[in-house]
Amino acid sequence: MKKIIAVAACFAVLFSVHVFVQALPAFNFDSETAIYEEEKAADLIPEPRKMVAITFDDGPTDITIQILNDLAKYNARATFFVLGNRLERFPETTQRIVNEGHQIGNHSFSHKRLNRISVQTMKNELDLANEAIFKATGVKPTIMRAPYGEHDKNVLEAAAARGMAVIKWNIDSIDWQPGTAVGNITQRALKNVQAGDIILLHDLYPETGVASAIIIKELTDRGFELVTVDELIEYYSTEMEPGAVYISGVKKFSVADGVDFDEWYESNR
């Protein structure tokens, strides 16, 4: 009799479990797995990087050394558009620019207005600067910036023939203006800065040396990565196009587009 009661109790328990399981909501393994995989994939997608390129013209000088020291403090990189006729006076600084991961660009040999001299003289300015840079560093520049940011079709064609893109800027600190205070330089550089911007400074003035330290720290504190021009353009656009003009990481002018540069620049700056 006891065996019969025990067996009956077992059946009752099994029946209760069966009823409970039937009452549970259906679990769609395929659907749940897909959701899990989707969430897992989303976790692997990196956050967009906030990159800015700080650029310095007219060096190298003693100010360049100070700026390199400040960049090193924050593991930041920058781009230096150098004058060919200055390199022999600052060989160690020039080599240091390259050794510490910064980019070096052609700013002509003697800072002539490239669009106001003969085509041959303009080409000589670019070639002499490239030769001086290569002699000092072993690097062949892939970017240039015309003095005063002034260029014409001949300059763009010469740059393209030498494998160089033309780099302008979309944030001007106006540190070149006589009597500009450190506070004004930093405010102009930082006020409206966004990811993809190219900032213009000059490693020529003591005020810029002081302002650069503030700018580098502030941009780093805001979460920006300070990178070279080629890193910026590679991330936000594509591979750099020789002879094309870049005013930021995302805005490019090309002669092949068939539009007037001045009109394009006014609508895109």
Low-confidence ranges of the chain (pLDDT < 50): 1-15, 17-21, 23-24, 27, 29, 41-42
Return the pLDDT at 238: 76
In what helix (H) or strand (E) does residue 37 lie, and over which residues does it extend?
A: helix 29-44
Return the pLDDT at 237: 84
Q: In degrees to the nearest 10, what's the CA dihedral of 67, 72, 77, 78?
A: 10
Return the pLDDT at 10: 43
Question: What letter represents residue 50's amino acid?
Answer: K
Return the pLDDT at 265: 72
Return the pLDDT at 19: 44
Q: Is 95 helix (H, G, I), strand (E, B) or coil?
A: helix
On whether the CB atoms of residues 171 and 197 are closer than 8 A, the answer is yes
Return the pLDDT at 262: 72
Q: DSSP assignment, residue 74?
A: T
Angle of helix 206-221 relative to helix 182-190, nearest 10 degrees, comes to: 40
Q: In degrees to the nearest 10, what's the CA dihedral of 144, 129, 63, 193?
A: 0
Q: How far apart are CA 95 and CA 99, in angstroms?
A: 6
Q: How far apart are CA 175 and CA 183, in angstroms?
A: 10
Residues with catalytic roles: 57, 202
Return the pLDDT at 254: 80
Q: How far apart are CA 29 and CA 42, in angstroms?
A: 20
Return the pLDDT at 252: 85
Nearest to 190 by CA among 199, 181, 182: 199
On whether the CB atoms of residues 173 and 185 are closer than 8 A, the answer is yes
Return the pLDDT at 39: 58
Q: Is 223 helix (H, G, I), strand (E, B) or coil?
A: coil
> pTM surpassing 0.85?
no
Contacts 24+ apart (CB under 8 A), 172-175: 172/200, 173/199, 173/200, 173/201, 173/208, 173/211, 175/201, 175/202, 175/205, 175/207, 175/208, 175/211
Bridge-partner residues for 52, per DSSP? 226
Q: Which two tokens stand for residue 217?
A: 């720290």
